[in-house]
Amino acid sequence: MVRAIERIERELAVLQEAIQAIARELQMAYASYLAALGQALRKQLILASYHLCTQGYPENFLKLSLNQRQQLQQSIRKLGQKAAEILISSLMSQEDEEDEEDEENVEEIVTSLETTEGEIPSELSSSPSESVKHSSPQTYIVETSNPIELAKWQQHLEVQMQQTLRKVSHEANLILQNAGILPQKLPEPVLEAAAAAASEGSAEMMPGPPNILNLVLEIADEQDTEKSGLTQIMTINLRLGEIEFADTTVANHRKQIREILGQLNKLGREYQKKQRERSIAEAEAAWRASWYED
């Protein structure tokens, strides 16, 4: 029985090494993915802002002076660049601090992809708004030899990505509203409710371009019920699926991540099976060790 336990331990050790190798591959794949996603997000944010200014609310945009238009465009560009930084930092904060060599490789990927469109200027050390500036990710150190912990790490990272897109979308809408593009009669709670309604499917959504929320909401006026009625709203709503669909580089990196996750799931099942075998073998050995005849 002791030999059986030792054999299982050796097999578990081999599986752990394989899982660690997959973990490094997954982290590198996410580094490439997030760097490419940051670039694509900046482009899609600018395109969505362009659509709102020229197709959604052209009259409001034309009311702006040349200087106001340039300030608006600069704020959108800075927001997109800051969002790209936040996406990368969400991975950096989750790297295993003991694995310095892998972290250097991740930084090399990030740098090489960012410089394809030019270095991020130093002026971006401050973001257009405190809501984005202080949205630093929570540190999450992962045990790379444990497939369950790796799965939690990956899910945590995906949640942070979605949260970043929502925050950037909300911040962009505030910038557009402060510039006079979005109607001033729409208070911030209404903007938040519109995004929530879209995600929950509780409002009538209308067809439109990517990353644009185009829906009809019923807004009640508590002071004057006669003014209550349906209101069409167009806002920025960055969606991960639409960003990936519009950018082949991001889509290819996502495909690579899926393939790696498939390998990880297979190893994870084998790992759990071996852990179960070890528990059974140890329990049988413990039973025999404590058993005696009356």
pLDDT for 2 equals 73
Lowest mean pLDDT among 66-75, 99-108, 205-214, 252-261: 99-108
Phi and psi angles of residue 237, each rounded to the nearest 5 degrees, phi first: -145, 85
More confident residue, 99 or 93: 93
pLDDT for 109 equals 41
pLDDT for 252 equals 97
Q: What average pLDDT does the segment 233-254 reach?
A: 93
Q: Beta partners for 147?
A: none
**Which tens digit of pLDDT belongs to each residue from 8-44?**
999 999 999 999 999 999 999 999 999 999 999 999 9
Asked if residue 1 has pLDDT above 90, the reply is no
Q: Beta partners for 215?
A: 205, 233
Q: What average pLDDT does the segment 229-251 reach?
A: 89
More confident residue, 33 or 125: 33
Amino acid found at 224: D
pLDDT for 181 equals 94
What percentage of the chain carries pLDDT values higher than 90?
54
For the CA atoms of 86, 160, 216, 207, the dihedral, rounded to the nearest 10 degrees, stands at 80
Lowest mean pLDDT among 98-102, 187-191, 243-247, 252-256: 98-102
Report whether 128 contacts 75 (CB < 8 A): yes
Report whether 61 contacts 181 (CB < 8 A): yes
**Which tens digit of pLDDT belongs to each residue from 109-119?**
444 434 333 33
Mean of the per-residue pLDDT values for the chain? Answer: 79
pLDDT for 292 equals 83
Whole-angstrom distance, CA of residue 81 vs CA of residue 77: 6
Whole-angstrom distance, CA of residue 102 vs CA of residue 95: 9
Asked if residue 208 has pLDDT above 50, the reply is yes
Asked if residue 247 has pLDDT above 90, the reply is yes
- The pTM of the full predicted model, rounded to 2 decimals, is 0.76
SS (H, E, C) the chain: CHHHHHHHHHHHHHHHHHHHHHHHHHHHHHHHHHHHHHHHHHHHHHHHHHHHHHHHCHHHHHCCCHHHHHHHHHHHHHHHHHHHHHHHHHHHCCCCCCCHHHHHHHHHHHHHHHHHHCCCCHHHHCCCCHHHHCCCCCCCCCCCCCHHHHHHHHHHHHHHHHHHHHHHHHHHHHHHHHCCCCCCCCCHHHHHHHHHHHHHCCCEECCCCCCEEEEEEEECCCCCHHHCEEEEEEEECCCHHHHHHHCHHHHHHHHHHHHHHHHHHHHHHHHHHHHHHHHHHHHHHHHHHHCCCC
How does residue 214 score in pLDDT terms, banded at 50, 70 and 90? confident
Report whether 56 contacts 209 (CB < 8 A): no
